[in-house]
Structure 1
Amino acid sequence: MARNFIIENMPEFKSIEANKFSKKRLAIWAGLIIMSLFSLYFITNNEDMYNKPIAKIITINEEESNKETTDGKIEPIKNQKIQAIIMNGIYKGKTVELNNLTSFSQVNDLDLKINDEVFLSIEDNDKQEISSANIIEFKRDKYIVYIINIFVALILLIGGAKGFRSLASVFVNIVIVFTIIELFTKGYDLMAFSIIASIIFIVLSILIVSGRNKKSISAIVGTLIGTLVSMLIAGIVIKLNNWSGIHFEEMEFLTHPPEEIFFIELIIGTLGGIMDIAISISSAIKELYDKNPHIKRKAIIKSSREIGQDIMGTMANTLVFAYISGSVPTILLLLRNGMPITNIISFNLSMEFMRAIVGSIGIVLSIPITMYTSILILKNQKIGEA
C-alpha cells in the first residue's frame, strides 16, 4: 500500500495519467466530429433514399398581389414561378417548371428560396415524359440534422460525461416510447403500458444520468411518490366534476377514449417536472451532507426547503409556458376570426391549463416528499440531531 501511495503521488505518474485522460477525451471528440460530418454529408446527399421525387430549386421569379380575406382584410400574396432540377428517380437531372402560391400568413403554403428541396407529385404521358409536376411538401430532414448536431455538441461541451449519459437517457426513452406506440397499435392496453413506461422512464433516466447511488434512489422514490399523489388528486377532482370544464374538441379525430389519452398526457407531462425537482433536491441534500456530515436536521430541512421554493416558481412557469406555447398559432387564428379571448381560454385552452395545474401540483408536492425521502435514505450519513 505504501508503494502504491508513493507512486500515485509522484508527479510523473500524475502526468502519465493526465496524458492518458487527455488522449481518451481527444479520441472521443474526434469520433464525434467525424460522425457529425458524416451525418451532414449523408443528409445533403440522400435523395436516392426516397421513393418520392425530390427537386432542388435553381431559379425563382415572383409576382406580388393582394387578396381580400373573408373577414375583409387584405393579405399579401406571392406567386412564385420556379425552375427546379429533379434529384432522384427515373427523371433525375431533368428540369421542371413549378408554380407556388404563398400568402403572408403561410398557414397552408410555403415561401420557397433558391437551393430549397421539395417533394414532387409527377404525372407523365405515354412517351414517359413529364406532363405536369406539383409541389407536395418541403424537404426538412437536413435542418433537423443540423439542430440535432448543435444540440449534441452543446450538451457534450457543457455537460461532459454527464451530458453523454443524458443523451443515452434520451435515446433509451425514445426507444421505449416507440415500443409503447407499437404495442398499442397491436391492441395492448395503452393506460397500463403507459404507467409501466413512465416508471421505466423515471428509473432509467435518473440511474443513467446520476448513477447507482443513494442520491438516485431518493430522487426515484420522490418522483414516483410525487407523481402518484398528484395523479390521485387530479383523478379524484376530475372524477367528482365528471370531466366538466375540459373540452376534447382537439381529440375528435381519435378512435380511442379522449379521457384516457388526456390522463396519460397528464402522467407523462407531470413526471418530467417532478423528476427535475426530485433530482435537484436530492443532489442538494447529498452535497450538504458531504460538506458537513454533522449538520443539524433542522438546517438540512431549512436549506432544502429554500432550494425547493426557488425551483418551484420557475418550474411552474416553465410548465405553463411550455403547454400554452403550443397553442399560440391556434390562439392567433381564433383571435383573427373574432373569437373573444374568454372563449378561447375556456374552450381551446382548457386542457393546457389542466396539464399545467396538475404538473404544478406535482412540483409543489415533490419538494417535501423528496426532501424527507432523501433524509430518510441518507440517514446513515451521521446527520446531527437537532
Structure 2
Amino acid sequence: MSHDHGPPPAASRRTRRIVTAVLVPAALATLVALILLWPGDVSAEPDPGGGQRALATVTAVAEQTCPAGASQQRCGSATVRVTEGPGAGADQTVDLPQGPGTSALHVGDDVVLLYYPDAVPGGRAYTVVDRQRSAPMMWLVAVAVAVILAFGRWRGLTSLAGLAVSFGLLLLFVVPAILDGSPPLLIAVVGASAIMFAALYLTHGVNVHTSVAVAGTLASLVLTGVLGAVFSSAMHLTGLGSDDSSSLAVTRTGLDLRGLLLAGIVIGALGVLDDVTVTQAVTVAEMTPGATSRWALYRAATRVGRAHVASAVNTIVLAYAGASLPLLLLIAASSEPISDLLTSEYLAQEILRSAVGTIGLVASVPITTALAALVADLGPGTGPAAPEPRAGRHARRG
C-alpha cells in the first residue's frame, strides 16, 4: 500500500525531458507486449465426468447416533431447498458433511451443493461441498471501500481505481495468458509493468517524481526476476512444491510450473516495491533545494531510505510467513532433521520467495535514489563534486 506523500516539488523542463525520454519507450513497449501476448479464449471446458453446482438453504436437520467404531462424528441427513441450479425449487435430502474442516449444518444455513446423480450407485444425487459466503464478503468489501474513501477522499478514490486496474490485468491478462501456454515469467513481467504504470500514475498523479518511482520499480522488478530465475535453476526447483501446483500439473499439461513460481515472486514483490520507490523519489525531491551536490543528495536520501526499507523487509518476510503458516506448523510437528526440511522442495520455494523478494526490495532504495538524484534540479553552480564555497557560507552569516 502506498503512502500519501503530498504534492511533490515542481521539476524543471530538463528533468521532464529526461524522464519522458526513458519512460515513454518503456510504456510503449509494455503496451505492445500486452497486445501481442493478449490471450485468446481460455475458458475452462466442462468436465464430462463431474457434477453441476447448485445453491440451497437448509430447512431441516435429522441427526442420529453414529454406528460403533465409525470414524465420523455426526451421522444423519439434512433437507435442503434448492434455490439455484439443477432442481431449483425442489426439496432434496443430503448426507451430513463429514471429514476434517467440515462444520455442523443448522436450519437456515446457505450451502453449496454438487449435483452428481451417478457418483455413487444408489446414493444421494446432491452433496454439500461448501458454504455460501457472497453476502458477508460483499459487506466486508463495502466497508473496506467506505473506510478508504472516508479517510483518503480523492486519493483514496484514485487508489481504488489503481486497485481495480491491477485486479483487471491479473484476471484478464496474467492468469489467462499463463493458462494459454505463454511463458509465465514473461507474462508476469509484462503484467507487473502494466500494473505499475497504471496504479502508480493513478494513485500519485502524472509527474516527474512518480515517473522516477516507476523507473526504479521497473529496474527492481527486472532484478527480482533475474535473481529468481538464476537461483531457482541453481536449486533445481520444479515448481511442484504444493498441492495446488501438483493439481495444475495434472489438469494443465505443458504448463511451466517453474516459470509460474517466478511469476508469483515478481507479482508479489510489486506490492511492496511501489511504496518504497515512491517514498525515495519524493524524499530526493524534498531534499534537492538544500543539496550541494548529487552525491550528497544521494547519501542523505539513502539514509532516510534505510529506515523505511528495514520495516518493509520485515513486512515482506512476514507476509510470506503468514501465507505459509500451515507449512511452518508441519515443519514444527515433523520428526525429520531440520536440515532435510530446509532443503526440501516445498520449503526451498518459500525461502526463494522471501530471499529474492527481499533483495529486490533492498535494491530498490539505491536504484530509485540514484535515478532521482541524477535528474534532480540542483541549480547553477552545483554538481557531482561541487561543494559550497566557504566564502559563500561566511557571506550568508553576515
Return the TM-score normalized by structure 1.
0.70
Which of 150, 156, 164 in structure 2 is aligned with 1:157?
150
Q: Does 1:319 align with 2:311?
A: no
Q: Deviations over 1:7-59 (max 9, x none)?
A: xxxxxxxxxxxxxxxxxxxxxxxxxxxxxxxxxxxxxxxxxxxx743211244
Shift of 1:333: 4.8
Greater mean alpha carbon deviation, residues 75-84 or residues 164-173: 75-84
Alpha-carbon distance change, 99 to 238 in structure 1, aligned in 2, over 3 angstroms: closer
Counterpart secondary structure, 1:56: strand
Is contact 2:187–2:263 with CA below 8 Å preserved after alignment?
Answer: no
Partner of 1:118: 111
Shift of 1:277: 0.9
Q: Deviations over 1:286-305 (max 9, x none)?
A: 3445xxx3344576445422
Counterpart secondary structure, 1:378: coil
Partner of 2:241: 249
Partner of 2:131: 138
Letter in 1 for 2:198: L
Partner of 2:268: 269
Alpha-carbon distance change, 269 to 62 in structure 1, aligned in 2, over 3 angstroms: same
Identical amino acids, percent of aligned pairs: 19
Is contact 1:155–1:163 with CA below 8 Å preserved after alignment?
Answer: yes
Which of 352, 355, 380 in structure 2 is aligned with 1:354?
352
Letter in 2 for 1:84: V
Q: Deviations over 1:82-116 (max 9, x none)?
A: 3432223575444444332445x51xx34444432
Q: Does 1:167 align with 2:160?
A: yes
| Cα distance in structure 2, aligned partners of 1:332 and 1:80 | 33
Partner of 1:370: 368
Partner of 1:218: 212
| Cα distance in structure 2, aligned partners of 1:344 and 1:66 | 41
Shift of 1:365: 0.9
| Cα distance in structure 1, aligned partners of 2:356 and 2:257 | 17
Alpha-carbon distance change, 134 to 266 in structure 1, aligned in 2, over 3 angstroms: closer
Q: Deviations over 1:48-84 (max 9, x none)?
A: xxx7432112444656889999xxxxx9934464343
Shift of 1:134: 2.3
Q: Does 1:281 align with 2:280?
A: yes
| Cα distance in structure 1, aligned partners of 2:296 and 2:79 | 71
| Cα distance in structure 2, aligned partners of 1:163 and 1:202 | 17
Partner of 2:225: 231
Counterpart secondary structure, 1:379: coil
Unaligned residue ranges in structure 2 (runs of 5+): 1-51, 388-398
Partner of 1:294: 290
- Aligned-CA RMSD value: 3.6
Is contact 1:230–1:365 with CA below 8 Å preserved after alignment?
Answer: no
| Cα distance in structure 1, aligned partners of 2:161 and 2:336 | 45
Greater mean alpha carbon deviation, residues 334-343 or residues 93-102: 334-343
Is contact 1:295–1:383 with CA below 8 Å preserved after alignment?
Answer: no
Alpha-carbon distance change, 329 to 114 in structure 1, aligned in 2, over 3 angstroms: farther
| Cα distance in structure 2, aligned partners of 1:173 and 1:261 | 18
Shift of 1:183: 3.3
Letter in 2 for 1:176: L
Shift of 1:268: 1.8
Is contact 2:313–2:358 with CA below 8 Å preserved after alignment?
Answer: yes
| Cα distance in structure 1, aligned partners of 2:314 and 2:130 | 36
Counterpart secondary structure, 1:55: strand
Alpha-carbon distance change, 93 to 159 in structure 1, aligned in 2, over 3 angstroms: same
Counterpart secondary structure, 1:193: helix
Partner of 2:198: 204
Shift of 1:135: 1.3
Is contact 1:246–1:351 with CA below 8 Å preserved after alignment?
Answer: no
Shift of 1:354: 0.7
Partner of 2:17: none
Alpha-carbon distance change, 282 to 184 in structure 1, aligned in 2, over 3 angstroms: same
| Cα distance in structure 2, aligned partners of 1:333 and 1:76 | 24
Greater mean alpha carbon deviation, residues 86-95 or residues 224-233: 86-95
Larger RCO: 1 or 2 (CA < 8 Å, sep 6+)? 2
